Structure 1
């Protein structure tokens, strides 16, 4: 399976017609049909219901379409990043981050870093889990990472910028929504719990599971979704409750309420990670700005460097 197979398949799926897809791709229809047939033979299933007009995707086709669109978007992002890098002739700085951190102070950190470094550096943000950030740092694919998990690696250093409180997200009409006192973990464990993120493991979801387990609790009913926004949407729809960083409250929704949790260890760190050998001016600037924005040195009990 090659990228061209996926591009051809996505074009046919979107146009729902081989002739129009061939025009869009600037090729003739017979080669396009052959490429799709090759793809079907490799997968072992038909991707289109050819008896339908317009064409319809089969179950296998729908599954492939979802994944093909994501794969092509990722490839195009990589190609665009590399193209901009070499055309610009400037230093390129790659920052990994976990999605939930964007709700808090990270955007301010990036803005101030960009302003301080000026036009001599091109900055790219890449969403990835904390464990993936560690691998990307070792391999030189990113320059710095912002995550929530402590990843032990002799080649890396980490700075815990802050320890963020966790809160419970509830549907606005939930029975616990009107409780004025902080909610206990036992109360929350009795509810269906929406966890995230699903693609990256270990992840923030494992932090939440560990929090319950440390208090002798298990989640009998839980569901995992891809990201914070999806988790909050599921909560709003009445599918359960979710444990989220306090900064998520910035997404003010009338169909949700957020309540504090009655557990001192209901926290999640925000961690800056970098290569141990990196002594660049860019890293020093990033660390200084991050410490200032997160007020790291003013918070008691915050781990400095390890």
Structure 2
């Protein structure tokens, strides 16, 4: 059995259709069907229910899929790490969600680059979901995102929980109040959420807060990105819930009020490939904690191998 058998099988199992799997693998359908037959013959068991449409896995097939995926993830990790070690120049590609630029991320990257000028650092704006895909195929080495989730091939470290605030136009009925707001205060406004795609996203995180409180926003408008949502707030087209660090982007037509609901937080997560313990990553994590300590930002320290303190 070869790695290609695992890759072909996972594609067929996930697509539940040989034709679609063949298109995904950029190969013809007959050779793929023969490879699946060959794999079943090598294993001596049926992996797919005969005659099922769409294709359904047998119990053995489900077991094989559960173990084939992590093996392929490890191979991708091994490839990416070997390529990095083999390069004459040290590099570190960082994926980040836009809102982190208004917080400590610029200071973190600047601090890291001062300590490690030999490393060529590049920054790539992408959603959390895009970061996970980019980590898996080696386009980035670390991601700063906001969405939690489980993926056996990705190690995710919670850096901190950031409070959320409400962005309002200056003439809004709630803008003049110096007190904090609650989600119940926002039910009669048009709620602007971002990004519109891909999902899940920060938009779903905001909507989940309402659902957790058994609340339903009056009207929800999805927009493409953070900057557009704030522009529409300034134009009086609605309100937005954003991380508190966004307040650093001063806009004369937007005011911010804190959210006092106990669950009005958004996590900031440090994501890397599960097997990747490269020194560049450890140094970047150390830079994160150094800036947090310097600026008095509450956080829990954790190494790439486990909790430190």
Report TM bin, short chain. 0.5 to 0.7
8 A Cα contact 1:189 1:212, kept in partner:
no
214 and 302 in structure 1: CA distance in 2 versus 1, 3 angstrom threshold: farther
123 and 300 in structure 1: CA distance in 2 versus 1, 3 angstrom threshold: closer
1:89 deviates by 5.7
Residue matched to 2:182:
184
292 and 110 in structure 1: CA distance in 2 versus 1, 3 angstrom threshold: same
Residue matched to 1:115:
114
CA distance in structure 2 between the partners assigned to 1:90 and 1:213 by the alignment:
48
Residues 1-306 of structure 1: pairs in structure 2 closer than 5 A: 90-118=89-117, 120-295=118-293, 302=300, 304=302
1:190 deviates by 1.7
CA RMSD for the aligned pairs? 2.2
1:275 deviates by 1.2
- Give the TM-score, by structure 1 length: 0.67
1:95 deviates by 0.6
CA distance in structure 1 between the partners assigned to 2:183 and 2:249 by the alignment:
23
8 A Cα contact 2:289 2:301, kept in partner:
no
CA deviations over 1:144-187 (Å, ceiling 9, x no partner): 00000113112221111111000001000111111232112011
SS of the equivalent of 1:243 reads strand
CA distance in structure 2 between the partners assigned to 1:177 and 1:208 by the alignment:
20
CA deviations over 1:171-224 (Å, ceiling 9, x no partner): 001111112321120111221011111233111111000001101111231111
CA distance in structure 2 between the partners assigned to 1:285 and 1:272 by the alignment:
13
CA distance in structure 2 between the partners assigned to 1:178 and 1:224 by the alignment:
26
SS of the equivalent of 1:270 reads strand
SS of the equivalent of 2:195 reads coil
Residue matched to 2:33:
none
CA distance in structure 2 between the partners assigned to 1:290 and 1:241 by the alignment:
31
SS of the equivalent of 2:138 reads coil
- Give the TM-score, by structure 2 length: 0.66
Unmatched segments (≥5 aa) in structure 1: 1-84
1:248 deviates by 0.6
141 and 301 in structure 1: CA distance in 2 versus 1, 3 angstrom threshold: closer
1:281 deviates by 1.1
SS of the equivalent of 1:126 reads strand
8 A Cα contact 1:94 1:142, kept in partner:
yes
CA deviations over 1:237-268 (Å, ceiling 9, x no partner): 00010001000111112211111112011000
SS of the equivalent of 1:207 reads helix
CA distance in structure 1 between the partners assigned to 2:291 and 2:274 by the alignment:
23
Unmatched segments (≥5 aa) in structure 2: 1-83
8 A Cα contact 2:159 2:299, kept in partner:
no
